[in-house]
Amino acid sequence: MAHLLDGIVPEEPEGEDAYGPEGAPGAGGVDRRYGDRQLVRRITPYFRGRGAVVAFVTAAVVVAAVAGSAVPVLLARTVDRAVADGSGGTVTRLVAAILLAGTAAWLFTFLQQRLTGTLVGDVVLKLRQDAFHAATRQDMAFYDTHPTGALVSRVTNDTQSFAALLTMVLSLLGQVLMVVVLMAALFLIHVPLALVTAAVAAVIVAVSLAFRSRARVASLAQQRALAEVGGYVHETLRGIAVARNHRGERAAEEGLREVNGQWFTASVRLNRLFSGVFPLLISLTGLGTVAVVLLGGRFVDSGALSAGEWVLFLEALALFWSPLTSIASFWNQLQQGLAAGERIFSLIDRESAVRQTGQRPVPRLRGELELRGVSFGYHADRPVLQDIDLRIAAGESVALVGHTGAGKSSLVRLLTRAYEFQEGSILADGQDVRTLDLDEYRRCLGVVTQTPFLFSGTVADNIALGRPDADRAAVEAAARAVAGGDWLAQLPQGLDTATDEGGRNLSTGQRQIIALARVFLQDAPVLVLDEATASIDPLTEAQIQEGLDTLAAGRTTVVVAHRLPTVRKADRIVVVDGGRLIEQGDHATLLGRGGAYSRLYERYFRHQRPDLDPADEAPADTVVQGRSPAPEEGAVDVVSG
């Protein structure tokens, strides 16, 4: 973040991916540079299907520009007529024509602005939908490196800034067209004076274009800094309970002061750019006006220019400089809008790191899963899983056990296609998962994480996420299938109980039960449980386990296991250590083998036994006596995800 505020950075090549936090292009970074033409090409498709409105707006712009240009021309004719013969009738008709032209200019400007508001609103609505869709389809590695608040800023604030840009551009088009018409009229009237006017305009345009590239980069830096502020505030408020419990409010305020200070620095530098260029443009405009007044007066004295034509030049000047000064005045908004467009389209155009090579339909899996030579790392130079070979038969339950950081949760994340693996292949029913329709494949997986999340709505709404087309009876049946349904009596309105963001108004156990009910309703052939009962009290765990046993019957189940009851129920236990699979077998076999699992059992699982099982006692003692006093390489003292 700091490099964004280190002065104004040089522009990157157009369309080239920015490097992400780890230096990897594309996958980690979400910022790209777009030239103006690229932005025009990207926004043009959003106007398709609205051709009639676009055509009417264009016509309104042309009519308003022509009518607006006619006003000073008619005014000049009126002056000449009044000076020449003072004919009241002619002057009256010219005044009437001026009023008519002014009314037409106002009316068509009004219609153009009103239709532009509706048109831009429709475009931004679709643009915001596309940005949100792009954010939701990204892989989880993307969210590991991009704060949620910054993405919210792209979907909301940046689309709004881009909408302001579109509105402003359409508004300025009419003024620019009027300038072109007036300039043509000036050249027809008096070429030397028109050349002076055009020369001053050329200087102003050149200064504006020279300023443009620096302003774009500075505006982009300011918006990135603003996104950092939004992300920090979002994260801090979500974790306010932790900050308060550890008396970290002051530290949180210091953190906000830091990111806010960086935004302030970026804003001041941007403001200095505009405060420097705007007075320069105004000065050039003033010098041009003085030149036209002096030269025009001489031409009138010599008879080369009439009084009315001189008035036309003076009136045209006011109209002529208005668009240029407007562009200068709104240059900040213009550049912010262009920078916002870059941020929006860089998000929309970013491809997920999870790459699918095909879209084969997946009606319903049998549940056979296989990993062949799979290697994976969240960063390419730091592997988490290495050369994993694992076959899980349809209907088999497999428990993954191991120390913290061994790679258990990473393995199940690969199965769910949350991350892309670097080497090897993963098969589902003998088909490479990369060739399957990703949405259909994921619908075949019932996933419950250790920390469930609920959306705002009701308990029934959150359960129905497992199958959006399910009726109320199916939702209620799924709810009663977990923990015997007794937990519903603890909710004030049962299934209609409101849920806050994240489910904060419910206990951890209640949130986990709702997540399990969601999977019951989904009725997926494969269950992936990242120790779904780890955050629940023993009594509730026992109730839930009964429901899980029913649900798991006939289904493939992969469990990241932290508790002995879950481990012992599994058909097969797989020990993960250092990113490799080092042991496999059932509970009794592995315990008698005296290897890594038996050491895990003695250190972490044995104390979870409600009683001492004589069948397990002897092997366990044998393991303890024969165990090397040094722990296995890479072992740590906690077993968790």
pLDDT tens digit string along 178-207?
A: 778 878 888 888 888 888 878 877 777 777
Position 93 pLDDT exceeds 50: yes
- Cα distances from 295 to residues 125, 179, 202, 288, 301, in angstroms, run 52, 21, 19, 11, 10
Separation of alpha carbons 256 and 267, rounded Å: 16
Cβ contact 457:518 at 8 Å: no
Cβ contact 554:394 at 8 Å: no
Q: List the end-to-end C-alpha distance of the chain, in Å, as a whole number.
A: 31
More confident residue, 360 or 152: 360
Going 362 to 368 to 373 to 374, the CA torsion angle's sign is positive
SS (H, E, C) 266-288: HHHHHHHHHHHHHHHHHHHHHHH
What per-residue confidence (pLDDT) applies to 27?
A: 40
- Which residues, 6 or more positions from 131, have their beta carbon under 8 angstroms from its beta carbon? 154, 155, 158, 159, 344, 347, 348
Separation of alpha carbons 278 and 367, rounded Å: 67
What per-residue confidence (pLDDT) applies to 606?
A: 66
Counting Cβ atoms within 10 Å, is residue 638 exposed (0-12), middle (13-18) or buried (19+)?
Answer: exposed
Quickly state the pLDDT bin for 627 (edges 50, 70, 90). Answer: very low
To the nearest 10 degrees (0 to 180), the angle between helices 88-136 and 51-84 is 160
Position 176 pLDDT exceeds 80: no
Provide the token pair at 631: 């722990």
What per-residue confidence (pLDDT) applies to 8?
A: 27
Instruction: Locate the domains of the chain by residue range.
Output: 24-349, 368-444+552-580, 586-627
Separation of alpha carbons 328 and 253, rounded Å: 37
Separation of alpha carbons 538 and 532, rounded Å: 13
Strand pairing partners for 556? 526
Over range 252-265, report the average pLDDT: 81
- Which residues, 6 or more positions from 569, have their beta carbon under 8 angstroms from its beta carbon? 397, 399, 549
Quickly state the pLDDT bin for 328 (edges 50, 70, 90). Answer: low
DSSP annotation of 562 reads -
Architecture of the CATH domain 24-349:
Up-down Bundle (1.20)
- Cα distances from 591 to residues 37, 598, 607, 620, in angstroms, run 67, 5, 15, 7
Going 318 to 323 to 324 to 325, the CA torsion angle's sign is positive
Position 635 pLDDT exceeds 50: no
Over range 220-228, report the average pLDDT: 79
DSSP annotation of 629 reads S
Position 107 pLDDT exceeds 70: yes
Over range 358-375, report the average pLDDT: 91
Range name among 41-55, 108-122, 265-279, 617-631 with the lowest pLDDT average: 617-631
Cβ contact 40:53 at 8 Å: no
Neighbouring C-alpha atoms within 13 Å toward the C-beta of 308: 17
Cβ contact 375:422 at 8 Å: yes
What per-residue confidence (pLDDT) applies to 405?
A: 84
Position 175 pLDDT exceeds 80: no
Cβ contact 400:443 at 8 Å: no
Specify the residue for token string 């899983």: 385
Going 249 to 250 to 251 to 252, the CA torsion angle's sign is positive
What per-residue confidence (pLDDT) applies to 109?
A: 84
Separation of alpha carbons 630 and 540, rounded Å: 38
Provide the token pair at 195: 């050349």
- Secondary structure (DSSP) of 145-196: HS-HHHHHHIIIIIHHHHHHHHHHHHHHHHHHHHHHHHHHHHHHH-HHHHHH
What per-residue confidence (pLDDT) applies to 212?
A: 67
Position 66 pLDDT exceeds 90: no
What per-residue confidence (pLDDT) applies to 241?
A: 59
Provide the token pair at 41: 């090409």
Written as one letter, the residue type at 466 is: G
Number of H helices, E strands in the chain: 21, 12
More confident residue, 347 or 32: 347
Written as one letter, the residue type at 57 is: V
Dihedrals φ, ψ of 121, to 5°? Answer: -60, -45
Q: What percent of the chain has pLDDT over 70?
A: 81
Position 148 pLDDT exceeds 80: no
Position 313 pLDDT exceeds 70: yes
| 556-560 vs 457-458, strand pairing mode | unpaired
Counting Cβ atoms within 10 Å, is residue 553 exposed (0-12), middle (13-18) or buried (19+)?
Answer: exposed
pLDDT tens digit string along 408-467?
A: 989 999 999 989 999 999 999 999 999 999 989 998 998 888 778 888 889 999 899 888
What per-residue confidence (pLDDT) applies to 322?
A: 63
Class of domain 368-444+552-580: alpha beta
Per-chain mean pLDDT for the chain = 77
What per-residue confidence (pLDDT) applies to 580?
A: 92
Separation of alpha carbons 445 and 532, rounded Å: 15
More confident residue, 170 or 581: 581
Over range 148-157, report the average pLDDT: 80
To the nearest 10 degrees (0 to 180), the angle between helices 307-329 and 249-302 is 170
- Cα distances from 526 to residues 5, 72, 93, in angstroms, run 49, 77, 85
Q: Maximum CA pair distance of the chain?
A: 126
- Could you give the angle at the alpha carbon of 219 between the alpha carbons of 203 and 136, nearest 5°? 140
Specify the residue for token string 């030049």: 313
Position 25 pLDDT exceeds 70: no
- Which residues, 6 or more positions from 99, have their beta carbon under 8 angstroms from its beta carbon? none
Range name among 113-117, 285-289, 571-575 with the lowest pLDDT average: 285-289
Position 595 pLDDT exceeds 80: yes
Separation of alpha carbons 433 and 413, rounded Å: 13
What per-residue confidence (pLDDT) applies to 4?
A: 29
